[in-house]
Amino acid sequence: MSVTNTSGRRKTAVARIYLKEGNGAITVNGKDHKEYFPTLPLQYIVNQSFEVAELAGQYDVTVNVAGGGITGQAQAVRLAIAKAIVELDAEKKPALRAKGLMTRDMRMVERKKPGRKKARKKFQFSKR
């Protein structure tokens, strides 16, 4: 029984996963994924790669995720799982790519500029 490990990133979240054959248990930072990601949309995001590849319940996943917020972490886990599935079976890649699960979302928060309130927001100007 071999273990496949990959990583996924989204914003500042980084997820490292270890995928092996099993009964579908997903452990995130030592907790069950339903406890770590409490809302149904986040749980759906985590399981989306398995559902698209029609492999739900066939693999156990151990995840170490750090950085960012909870949504970015869920999306990083989704990308890592999709990459691991492709590593095991390359024929699943077209289906995953069609749903946009193989593409790393490059969008990041824009940095704050000097002399401004935020990245683009300016201070209010008054002639008086």
Q: Is the dihedral of CA 14, 70, 60, 41 positive or negative?
A: negative
**Residue 1 pLDDT level (bands cut at 50, 70, 90):** low
Share of the chain above pLDDT 90, in %: 89
Q: Read out DSSP for 35-91?
A: HHS-SHHHHHHHHHHHHHTT-TTSEEEEEEEESS-HHHHHHHHHHHHHHHHHHH-GG
Provide the whole-model pTM: 0.89
